[in-house]
């Protein structure tokens, strides 16, 4: 059974992946309201328009989809007026979540469907979904025409000395009450795009050429949509109204999904989705070329793509997702260049070009790895073994062929533990940060490497409104490692990772450290249909304590600063319609240690250390700076003000880094005034200053290479645990010290 990790379902924008452009008829009413001399005669609306209508197969499939949702979903589903209202809101949000296309009068008119979609779907009628979608593209085409005209005729007239602003997030904003109000939103939006390019050094002619090409490209993309795209979007919205991990895939999208979403994975090892008009990197695949290159990040938005080391960058803003993916795909060994807006930046002025050599993601690249770190703490030296497990993998094909050396995360970790024991480590940290899950059976067996026998997880199944709960666990009494253990997690540790961390915590076999985990405690099943397929939530995970991992995830025994804390849209709790946290009856199990009794003292010592830790001070400040930036509601369109803000942000980051270096006794960096310097090192503003000696005059910057501060702190906590636990062993009953047998 597979735990269905949420790598490809990380936020609400995933349902928008199927939303692509199409051409829709523009009514003469709205066109007449445009200034006639602003209309470019090249943009022939009639030539762009092709009516889009549903087909009989669409209605038949809708009826069958409702039946699957009602009879097979984990929850009891009622297709009623409340369901209809949810579908309506989600559909509008999927199409125009930023409120940049629909007018208020459009929403008022379409609201007639709010409580009738359920009845239409039951009757096999999907026309309401098509009508709403068609109106959306009618409005979108109007906006593209406005944008082209604005860019081609008015760039030179824009005044960047006046104090104007643009809203960053319009999710909670009202819809425009008039065409003039919508035009004003787009005037400011286009002005921001122009300013971003001005700040990169482009002149008016270059800006006009780039943006005109971008918006005309979007017009071209609009004309490529067909009835299958509309049906896919509408049915996917119907399915996700039940829960965010339930979805519908049309035949074309089913093929892509069944290939492991290979259209997005092949080439660079990145899962892509759409956000507004941008293609966004949703996830980097462990072991893939993008992850190995360490330049591309989840959350980066792709502006343009170039082929080869010197191919021209082609703008892809507003392009269909599958067309963007087609440009990124390519033969192994070839280079693709992505011009991206970094996840922690807000505009194209901060875009940077990342070069990636295409490759395939190999199973061995995702294998568990080990290292040993040595640290001096309280006058003693400790050797801490680190096992980095990027995913819970199992080579089913090799195992089914009877190959003796098939890849398995449990087998690999077992071998690494044997090596660490030979190296006489004092403790082990299993690093599950950014591990999105994988095979449930592997998670169960991995827990078994640290306990004798016992349950590791419970699964509650539900079908036809009746359910039952079953426990799974480890039946092998062999224990690979009996020493002090910690599990390190963060917000993107999910599914099978949560099963492992929760079991280790419940058994009090080890200490769970880091950030709150993702909270995906549901299991999905693919059910084929005559036309496409549905991915349906069929069951839920529960810990042996009876607590669900759904929604809340696993709360660490000791929490570390987690960079993902700055992002409110990461985690199951951020997904609309996520199933709730609940409990089932606990299974019988016996704790291995009295870890919970030691946590208060461990926490106290940890708190004292991090108050003066340069790395933790820097990390907390960095998280807070990112949080503040993401909470900004507006961006200035005053050029000098934007430049000043950018310079101040650069200076703040520079000062924070230098303070960290000062406290650690490292060589300080030298401030570089010229932010447009061509030297890449100077652009980063962090250049070593040989004239600024470190505080304690170390012979070399050896401290700088001491390693990941979170792993080092995990080692110190384990050292504290060893000291505290050794003082309690004589008073702990044999039942609670089974690992020492």
pLDDT of 730 above 60: no
How far apart, in whole angstroms, are the C-alpha atoms of residue 319 and residue 224? Answer: 10
Q: Are 336 and 295 in contact (CB under 8 A)?
A: no
Residue 573's pLDDT is 92
Asked if pLDDT for residue 690 goes beyond 50, the answer is no
> How distant, in Å, are the alpha carbons of 2, 116, 698 from that of 91?
30, 14, 61
Banded pLDDT at 244 (limits 50, 70, 90): very high
Measured between alpha carbons, how far is 109 from 96 in angstroms, rounded to an integer? 16
To the nearest 10°, the Cα dihedral for 701, 702, 705, 707? Answer: -130
Using CA atoms, how far apart are residues 394 and 363, in angstroms rounded to an integer? Answer: 9
- H-run or E-run covering 91: helix 81-96
* 362 — pLDDT class (breaks 50, 70, 90): low
Q: What does DSSP say about strands 533-542 and 522-528: parallel, antiparallel, or unpaired?
A: antiparallel
431 is catalytic: no
Is 68 in contact with 527 (CB distance < 8 Å)? Answer: yes
State the Cα–Cα distance between residues 168 and 173, nearest whole angstrom: 10
The whole-number pLDDT of residue 537 equals 95
DSSP H helices, 276-400, are: 289-293, 321-328, 396-400
List, for residues 496-543, the tens digit of each pLDDT value: 999 999 999 999 999 999 999 999 999 999 899 999 999 999 999 999
Region(s) of the chain under CATH 3.90.226.10: 363-595
| pLDDT tens-digit readout, 204-242 | 999 999 999 999 988 888 777 889 999 999 999 999 999
> Average pLDDT in the 68-76 region?
93
CA distance 362 to 269: 10
Return the percentage of the chain with pLDDT > 90, whole number: 59
Exactly one of 495, 497, 613, 714 is catalytic; which is it? 495
**Which of 16, 191, 210, 520 is an active site residue?**
520
Share of the chain above pLDDT 70, in %: 83
CA distance 559 to 565: 11
Please report the DSSP string for 405-469 in residue order: T--BHHHHHHHHHHHHHHTT-SEEEEE-TT---BBHHHHHHHHHTTSSSEEEEEEEEEETTEEEE
Only one residue has tokens 């090249």, namely 42
Tell me the angle at which helices 614-630 and 639-664 cross, rounded to the nearest 10 degrees.
160
CATH code for residues 267-357:
2.30.42.10
Intervals of CATH 2.30.42.10 along the chain: 267-357
More confident residue, 296 or 682: 296
Query: How close are the terminal C-alpha atoms of the chain, in Å?
Result: 33
| CB-count burial class (<10 Å; 0-12, 13-18, 19+) for 482 | middle
Which residue did the predictor score with more confidence, 520 or 290?
A: 520
Q: What is the pLDDT of residue 684?
A: 38
d(C-alpha 227, C-alpha 206), whole Å: 37
Q: Tell me how far apart the alpha carbons of residues 591 and 512 are, in angstroms, rounded to a whole number.
A: 15
87 in Cβ contact with 130 (< 8 Å): no
Candidate list 253, 388, 506, 557, residue with the active-site label = 506
Per-residue confidence at 698, pLDDT binned at 50, 70, 90? very low
Mean pLDDT of 63-92: 95
> Which pLDDT tens digit goes with each residue over 439-494?
899 999 999 999 999 999 999 997 544 578 999 999 999 999 999 999 999 999 99
369-378 confidence digits (pLDDT tens): 999 999 999 9
pLDDT at 45: 61
Higher per-residue confidence, 113 vs 391: 113
Per-residue pLDDT at 286 exceeds 80: no
d(CA 68, CA 528): 10
Which residues are CB-contacts of 487 (< 8 A; sequence separation ≥ 6)?
A: 429, 430, 432, 500, 501, 504, 505, 510, 511, 512, 513
- pLDDT value for 365: 63
pLDDT at 270: 82
* pLDDT (tens digit per residue) in 250-277: 887 665 554 443 333 457 888 788 777 7
Residue 136's pLDDT is: 93
Residue 310: active-site member: no
C-alpha–C-alpha distance, residues 259 and 257, integer Å: 5
CATH: 3.40.50.300, 1.20.1050.10, 3.40.50.9100, 3.90.226.10. Which one for 363-595? 3.90.226.10
The predicted model gives 330-349 an average pLDDT of 84
pLDDT at 710 over 90: yes
Comparing 313-327, 575-589, 634-648, which segment has the lowest mean pLDDT? 313-327
Residue 219 is predicted with a pLDDT of: 84
- Rounded CA separation 2/245 (Å): 14
Min mean pLDDT across 134-143, 315-324, 327-336 is at 315-324
Q: So what's the pLDDT on residue 18? A: 30
Does the active-site annotation cover 495? Answer: yes
């Amino acid at each position: 059974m597979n735990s269905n990790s949420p790598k490809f379902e990380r936020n609400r924008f995933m349902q928008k992946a199927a939303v692509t452009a199409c051409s829709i008829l523009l009514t003469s009413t709205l066109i007449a309201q445009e200034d006639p001399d602003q209309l470019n005669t090249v943009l022939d609306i009639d030539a762009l328009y092709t009516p889009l209508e549903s087909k009989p197969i669409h209605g038949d499939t809708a009826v069958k989809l409702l039946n699957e949702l009602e009879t097979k979903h984990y929850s009891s589903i009622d297709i009623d007026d409340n369901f209809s209202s949810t579908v309506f809101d989600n559909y509008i949000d999927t199409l125009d979540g930023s409120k940049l296309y629909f007018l208020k009068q459009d929403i008022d008119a379409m609201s007639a469907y709010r409580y009738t979609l359920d009845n239409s779907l039951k009757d096999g009628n999907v026309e309401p979904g098509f009508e709403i979608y068609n109106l959306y593209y009618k409005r979108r085409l109007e906006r593209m025409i406005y944008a082209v005209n604005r860019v081609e005729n008015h760039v030179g007239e824009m005044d960047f000395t006046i104090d104007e602003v643009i809203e960053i997030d319009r999710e909670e904003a009202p819809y425009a009450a008039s065409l003039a109000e919508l035009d004003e939103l787009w005037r400011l939006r286009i002005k921001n795009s122009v300013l971003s390019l001005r700040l990169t050094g482009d002149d008016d002619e270059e800006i006009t050429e780039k943006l005109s090409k971008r918006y005309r490209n979007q017009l071209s993309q609009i004309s490529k949509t067909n009835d299958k795209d509309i049906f896919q979007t509408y049915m996917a919205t119907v399915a996700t109204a039940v829960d965010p991990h339930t979805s519908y895939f049309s035949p074309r999208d089913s093929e892509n999904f069944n290939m492991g979403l290979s259209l997005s994975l092949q080439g660079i090892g990145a899962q892509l989705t759409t956000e507004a008009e941008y293609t966004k990197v949703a996830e980097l695949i462990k072991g893939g070329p993008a992850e190995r290159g360490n330049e591309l990040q989840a959350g980066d938005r792709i502006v343009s793509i170039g082929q080869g080391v010197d191919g021209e960058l082609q703008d892809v803003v507003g392009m269909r997702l599958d067309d963007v993916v087609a440009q990124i795909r390519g033969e192994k060994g070839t280079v693709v260049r992505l011009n991206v807006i970094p996840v922690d930046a807000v505009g194209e002025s901060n875009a940077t070009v990342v070069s990636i050599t295409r490759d395939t993601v190999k199973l061995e690249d995702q294998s568990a790895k080990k290292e040993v770190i040595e640290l001096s703490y309280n006058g003693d030296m400790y050797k801490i073994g680190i096992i980095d497990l990027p995913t819970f993998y199992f080579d089913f094909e090799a195992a089914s062929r009877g190959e003796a050396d098939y890849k398995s995360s449990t087998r690999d970790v077992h071998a690494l533990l044997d090596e660490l024991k030979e190296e006489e480590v004092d403790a082990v940290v299993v690093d599950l940060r950014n591990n999105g899950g994988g095979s449930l059976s592997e998670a169960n067996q991995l827990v078994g490497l640290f306990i004798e026998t016992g349950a590791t997880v419970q699964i509650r199944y539900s079908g036809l409104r009746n359910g039952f709960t079953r426990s799974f666990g480890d039946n092998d009494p062999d224990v690979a490692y009996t020493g002090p253990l910690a599990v390190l997690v963060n917000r993107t540790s999910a599914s099978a990772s949560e099963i492992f961390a929760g079991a280790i915590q419940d058994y009090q076999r080890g200490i769970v450290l880091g950030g709150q985990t993702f909270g995906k405690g549901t299991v999905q099943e693919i059910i084929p249909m005559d036309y496409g397929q549905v991915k349906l939530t069929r069951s839920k995970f529960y810990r042996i304590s009876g607590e669900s991992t759904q929604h809340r995830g696993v709360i660490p025994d000791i929490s570390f600063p987690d960079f993902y804390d700055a992002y409110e849209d990461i985690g199951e709790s951020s997904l609309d319609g996520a199933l709730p946290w609940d409990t089932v009856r606990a299974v019988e199990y016996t704790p291995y240690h009295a870890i919970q009794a030691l946590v208060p003292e461990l926490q106290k010592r940890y708190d004292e250390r991090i108050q003066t830790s340069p790395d933790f001070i820097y990390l907390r400040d960095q998280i807070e700076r990112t949080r503040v930036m993401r909470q900004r509601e507006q961006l200035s369109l005053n050029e000098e003000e934007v430049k000043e803000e950018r310079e101040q942000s650069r200076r703040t980051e520079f000062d924070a880094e230098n303070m960290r270096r000062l406290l650690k006794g490292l060589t300080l960096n030298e401030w570089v005034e010229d932010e447009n310097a061509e030297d890449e090192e100077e652009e980063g503003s962090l250049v070593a200053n040989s004239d600024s000696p470190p505080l304690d005059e170390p012979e070399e910057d050896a401290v700088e290479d001491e390693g990941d501060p979170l792993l080092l702190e995990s080692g110190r906590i384990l050292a504290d645990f060893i000291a505290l636990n050794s003082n309690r062993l004589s008073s702990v009953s044999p039942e609670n010290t089974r690992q020492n047998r």
